[in-house]
Structure 1
Amino acid sequence: MRTKSLLLPLAIAAASATSPAIADFTGGDFILRVGGSYVDADSTSVFSNRNVIDIVDPDDPDSTIPVEIRERITVDSDSSWFINGTFFVADHWAVELYHMNQADMDADYTITATGEDIDIRRRDRLRGFDTSVTSLFANWYPVCVESWVQPYFGLGVNYTDIKQDYLRPVFIEDVINDNGQFVGRADRGLMTFGSSWGWTAQVGIDIEFGRDANWLFNASAMWVDADPELELGVDNIALRNDIVFDTIRIREDMDYDSWIFNLGVGYKFSF
């Protein structure tokens, strides 16, 4: 997990300060917020697959034995930064456009094989899933517009995207020659990702830095429904010298539902 710098978005907010506005949260007001985000997949296992295949019997090359293959991709949590803009279309009601920049979520690919006298596991680290989320909310602010503490609830739609600059390998393996010497590293297999649309919901609060202030503190928690597509293909996977799988092909949607927790600052403009 890595924490990305928040200096850029905070600088944007600082540069956005203009003439003071009244403290009320009323129709026509606009709030710009920036800050840090923490994203955590609801289930650490975002993909799992199970099937049974026949392999050559290590003890009898002329026959085969059934082996159950289980595959799983797990992801870690990570932090990033966000920026959003909220426009009050009327008292108590606002529209919010939110963007969380790429969170680099580490991922592992695990494959296990079980069968008669076989119980093998292989685990490989995948390069991070650079995930960004953009959401559009309709927010309801239930308390009186004069309050300098404003809780809110939102419901909307999200677009979740995993950065796809190139096809990435599934494995990066050490290459050993016939003499047992390390001669380099090689990429194995290909993996690609898609994007997805889904619903999202949030609860949050704005707290002004004083009753007549335009600067405010913001905190929110968001639930994001996402199922981007995963395509994975790899050949000749050796779990053991005598256990080799010819081909694995996967094309499935991932269970990428996530919680996003945000802390930031904002500035309220009144027009």
Structure 2
Amino acid sequence: MNRITACTAAALTAVLSVPALAYEKGSIIVRSGIASVAPDVSSSALSVSGARLGGTRVDVDNGSALGLTGVYMFHDHWGVELLAATPFTHDIQVEGLGATFDLGETKQLPPSLLLQWYPMDKRSSVQPYLGVGVNYTVFFDEDIDSEADARFATLGATGGAKLSLDNSFGLAAEAGVDFAFGANRRWLLNLAVFLIDIDTDAKVTVPEVGDITASVDIDPLVYTAGLGYRF
């Protein structure tokens, strides 16, 4: 019994004597959680074969997905973060001409690379941070809504309309905070918000009618909440 007690005490002493993992050069931080994209949309008026339709605009709904980030600390206070996610899905509407209707939907992926600054002491259990960098948003799987097809039919279209959105390259900024917990404070509760510059040209090709186009600034705030782990 004495031997068991001694071994247990030695093991506890060894565990408790391990220093808490810190935000320091060489550390790797992985975070994952729910990400919600809230677009702040501004849009040009729609143009049909080059003729502008006054009073019209495009709007984009919110979307949510699983957000993933990985950080490499190249300094005790500085890191490089790669932001990724599972695909976001957004519904797109057209407003104006006395009505609002569903145009379609698109999926997008927003990979971003950011330089981060961690101002607190490297062993702080509450660690805010700021980041700035670049984003490249890829749009894909664009689909036209049946309501839009019905409206195009009134203009003489016979179906087969196609929606496309150009990919976007722009700036990205973030503010976040980690709350460390667990053994050696390896686990993190993370909250963050990103501001991403996303500008795209949207085009609907409608047979027998022509191309309907608009320039759309999406510029969303992206809110994330989840867990992280420091290696």
Residue matched to 2:225: 263
Q: Residue 160 of structure 1: CA displacement?
A: 1.0
Residue matched to 1:137: 114
Structure 1 position 38 matched with structure 2 position 36: yes
Residues 76, 106 of structure 1: 8 Å contact kept = yes
- In structure 2, what residue type is equivalent to 1:49? A
The DSSP-based 3-state class of the residue aligned with 1:70 is: coil
Residues 112, 135 of structure 2: 8 Å contact kept = yes
Compared CA separation, residues 204 and 175, structure 1 to 2 (3 A)? closer
Structure 1 position 147 matched with structure 2 position 124: yes
Cα deviation, 1:75-115, whole Å, max 9, x if unaligned, reads: 11121111110010011000000113222122212341xxx
Structure 1 position 22 matched with structure 2 position 20: yes
Residues 174, 195 of structure 2: 8 Å contact kept = yes
Aligned positions, number: 207
Residues 105, 143 of structure 2: 8 Å contact kept = no
The DSSP-based 3-state class of the residue aligned with 1:172 is: helix
Q: Residue 250 of structure 1: CA displacement?
A: 3.6
Q: Residue 51 of structure 1: CA displacement?
A: 6.8
Compared CA separation, residues 252 and 52, structure 1 to 2 (3 A)? closer
Residue matched to 1:212: 184
Matching of residues 41-52 of structure 1 within 5 Å: 41-43=39-41, 46-49=42-45
Q: How many Å separate the matches in 2 of 1:175 and 1:224? A: 33
Compared CA separation, residues 203 and 99, structure 1 to 2 (3 A)? same
- TM-score, with structure 2 as normaliser: 0.78
Residues 168, 192 of structure 1: 8 Å contact kept = no
Normalized per residue, the structure richer in strand is 1
Compared CA separation, residues 175 and 79, structure 1 to 2 (3 A)? closer
The DSSP-based 3-state class of the residue aligned with 1:22 is: coil
Unaligned ranges ≥5, structure 1: 1-19, 54-66, 113-120, 177-185, 237-246
Compared CA separation, residues 52 and 212, structure 1 to 2 (3 A)? closer
Q: How many Å separate the matches in 2 of 1:195 and 1:149? A: 37
Unaligned ranges ≥5, structure 2: 1-17
Q: How many Å separate the matches in 1 of 2:96 and 2:215? A: 18
The DSSP-based 3-state class of the residue aligned with 1:261 is: strand
- In structure 2, what residue type is equivalent to 1:172? D
The DSSP-based 3-state class of the residue aligned with 2:44 is: strand
Q: How many Å separate the matches in 2 of 1:28 and 1:88? A: 5
RMSD across aligned C-alpha pairs, in angstroms?
A: 2.9
Structure 1 position 253 matched with structure 2 position 225: no
Q: How many Å separate the matches in 1 of 2:219 and 2:75? A: 32
The DSSP-based 3-state class of the residue aligned with 2:150 is: strand
Structure 1 position 87 matched with structure 2 position 72: yes
Q: Residue 21 of structure 1: CA displacement?
A: 7.5
